[in-house]
Structure 1
Amino acid sequence: MPCGEYDIGGLDLSDDHYTVEQNLVRNKYRAFDDDGNTVLKGKQKTFALKDEFPFVNADGMEVFTVKAQQIRDYEGEYVLTDAQSGDDIVVLKHEYSILEQITGATWKICDVDIDTKLAEITSRKFVGLFRTGLLGNLIPHHYEITDATGDHVGTISGQLSMKDRYDVDIDDASSVPREPVVVAAMVIDAIEGN
């Protein structure tokens, strides 16, 4: 499937850099472009049996939802659905490991129909050990984004802050569907509850 077929209606994430900021109180997110303009806003639905994160663009139009497929599933699958067409775009698959705090978390971005891996987002090893506990959110997190063959695509780098604030940098998205990868980078923090 060509990368263009993974586009999300009403959303343009063609820049190479975005800053994502989490609200201090709850899982509420805002993404900014390099000029400081809001490009995306989202929050976790409360009182839902399955985790659900609807997102709107800068104009307030709902553009996509990320929804868990099962109730509180450790090795979860989250489907990203285009709000305009109702089509499922990709699946975010969390590969849970009991050693995840040491080895790092791994998320696969897969085609929704044929289950082919399109990209992978992996946290830096050992950082998880220090991000647990009372002061855990003060320690910046770091993820690497790679394509299906393991080649570097970009990074997600946390900033030292009381609330989660991080940079999403895409260095080379020629081999991956850009919008779902950038979106996944933005929502994995919310799903993990960092």
Structure 2
Amino acid sequence: MTDQPAAHMHVPYFVVKQKLTMMVNRYEISESDQSFNPVRLLALAEQKRMAFKEQVTFYSDTGKSRAVFGFKARKKLDLNAGYDITDEGGQQIGFFKKDFGASLLRSTFHIEGAGFAGTGQERNQLVGLLRRFTEIPMLPIHFDFVDAQGQKLFSVERRMSIGDRYNVTVADTRVDFRIAAAVAVGLDALMAR
């Protein structure tokens, strides 16, 4: 293992699959083809259920032998503070934050990475409102993230399955896979899915 931080990595399509367990939210992140068929495991993450959503670490394998990236809240118990995304050496590579004011009607997140900044919102405001005010299970969660010029950065779409499954399309090559993966897992964790 080298002391050099990992280089920027663009992965155009990947899948985030949440595994159902009693005590832990477990996420498998796999590179996929355009049809979202997994082709290669990229990272695994675990988060204790009922714990504060302040930190998630992604590992290279099931034995958790090597932490490869993660995200951590800037302040404990302040969900409005945002989350720093770091590489395996602990260096910040990105940032995301839920915009609680804008999220009253449609969940909204702000993101930053090397060479870009953007905003992501639920694609369908009606579905967002239904998700907040009804008990309908398994409503879709679809987010589109765009830069200040309206150019698509990436999209996250939850598919119906046992356990949540998110298909992620990264249209912009400036978006590091680790940032898109951290945000996809963060959406699940922060929206208490």
TM (normalized to structure 2)? 0.76
Structure 2: 5+ residue stretches without partners? 33-37
User: Where does residue 15 of structure 1 map in the other structure?
Assistant: 11
% identical equivalent positions: 24
Secondary structure in 2 aligned to 1:130?
Answer: helix
Question: Counterparts of 1:30 and 1:178 in 2: how far apart (Å)?
Answer: 17
Aligned partner letter, 1:150: G
Deviation string, structure 1 residues 98-142 (Cα, Å, up to 9, x no partner)? x6252x112111259xxx962322222232233345543x11210
Q: How has the CA–CA distance of structure 1 residues 153 and 100 changed in structure 2, closer, same or farther, with 3 Å as cutoff?
A: same
Does the Cα contact within 8 Å between 1:108 and 1:117 map onto a contact in 2? Answer: no
- 1:90 matched to 2:94: yes
User: Where does residue 106 of structure 1 map in the other structure?
Assistant: 108
Question: Counterparts of 2:116 and 2:157 in 1: how far apart (Å)?
Answer: 23
Does the Cα contact within 8 Å between 1:27 and 1:44 map onto a contact in 2? Answer: yes
**Corresponding residue to 2:31 among 23, 30, 33:** 33
Deviation string, structure 1 residues 24-67 (Cα, Å, up to 9, x no partner)? 23422111122432211111256866611011124842111211
Structure 1: 5+ residue stretches without partners? 1-7
Secondary structure in 2 aligned to 1:33?
Answer: strand
| Higher mean C-alpha displacement, 47-56 vs 24-33 | 47-56
Secondary structure in 2 aligned to 1:127?
Answer: helix
Does the Cα contact within 8 Å between 1:157 and 1:167 map onto a contact in 2? Answer: yes
- 1:43 matched to 2:40: no
**RMSD of aligned residue pairs (Cα, Å):** 3.0
User: Where does residue 118 of structure 2 map in the other structure?
Assistant: 119
Secondary structure in 2 aligned to 1:20?
Answer: strand
User: Where does residue 154 of structure 1 map in the other structure?
Assistant: 154
Question: Counterparts of 1:51 and 1:96 in 2: how far apart (Å)?
Answer: 16
Greater per-residue strand proportion: 2
User: Where does residue 5 of structure 1 map in the other structure?
Assistant: none
Secondary structure in 2 aligned to 1:44?
Answer: strand
Aligned partner letter, 1:118: A
User: Where does residue 70 of structure 2 map in the other structure?
Assistant: 65
Aligned partner letter, 1:89: I
